[in-house]
Structure 1
């Protein structure tokens, strides 16, 4: 059984945000594999739909035996269990779980696109990613996370919490 190295972004801007992040991590450990590393938590201004509460975000590195599609199905199930209701794009949510990278895979299916198509556009993704893996090369853009962060046009606030 081979394990895949997966970077996952977690986000929450409703209710007990930190508790939702921690519950999601616990459920991912139970159902998906082991957490190899995790970034600090960052408070970030809402992206896309800016008239809502700030998010807490962090990135984890997961070692998983699951395929990309199996993993995405499991993450969607965890979101649902933690009260995520998808009513509007970029709307407020108790928890959001996005696969950023799955090994070096470039892949598209009905439920997941890899790498995540918006990594390079969002500081709230690039900053915690750079904390964990600054030299990681994006398999599509062939640039490091550090370079993508320097080139990112997004100027929304991303503040590291203690």
Structure 2
């Protein structure tokens, strides 16, 4: 893949089972191995309190920046294959998981399909996503709102705990 071809994309990573730091780092490695995807950089790793279902272990979260020549759908499918290959089994919504990979932004595209919504519909409400995304791309404009990631951080009402544990 040429250095300048493709779309800049941001992928959210999270885990709270079976060594979550290691699970997140393994997911980053696997994302970099996807054909048609060039790994650019990863945010710091953050320990975050669970959202939704509170009675579970803290999560480790990060955001990865990649350049991809894959379509949004192809990239989503590749992320789903990584999750399955790492042992993800979909159970309770917001429940514990070995790995969770979310396609947050695909360039400046807005996609509204039954099983593919970009930008990620909860991105602007979640501190555990915005903090690492802001670390990498504070200047990026959310294509649905026309506001920078930094601007979304300033408006954020989510007060949940997000603390850096491994410098990116």
Q: 1:94 aligns with which of 93, 98, 112?
A: 98
Which residue is equivalent to 2:138? 134
The structure 1 segments of at least 4 consecutive aligned residues displaced by more than 6 Å after TM superposition are none
Using the TM superposition, give the Cα deviation of residue 37 of structure 1 relative to its aligned residue in structure 2, in angstroms.
1.5
TM-score (norm 1): 0.96
Q: 2:69 aligns with which of 65, 72, 88?
A: 65
Q: 1:79 aligns with which of 73, 83, 90?
A: 83
Q: 2:111 aligns with which of 79, 98, 107?
A: 107
TM-score (norm 2): 0.92
SS in 2 for 1:31: coil
> Alpha-carbon deviations, 1:22-59, whole Å to 9, x = none?
11111111114121121000000001111110000000
Which residue is equivalent to 2:18? 15
Partners in 2 of 1:160 and 1:30 — Cα distance? 26
Q: 2:56 aligns with which of 49, 52, 59?
A: 52
Using the TM superposition, give the Cα deviation of residue 109 of structure 1 relative to its aligned residue in structure 2, in angstroms.
2.6
Which residue is equivalent to 1:147? 151
More strand by share: 2
> Alpha-carbon deviations, 1:65-109, whole Å to 9, x = none?
110001101111110111111011111000000011000000123
List alignment gaps of at least 5 residues for structure 1.
none
Output the aligned Cα RMSD. 1.2
Partners in 1 of 2:28 and 2:99 — Cα distance? 11
In the alignment, is the contact (CA less than 8 A) between 1:69 and 1:109 conserved in 2? Answer: no
What is the count of residue pairs matched by the alignment? 162
Q: Does 1:4 align with 2:11?
A: no
Which residue is equivalent to 2:45? 41
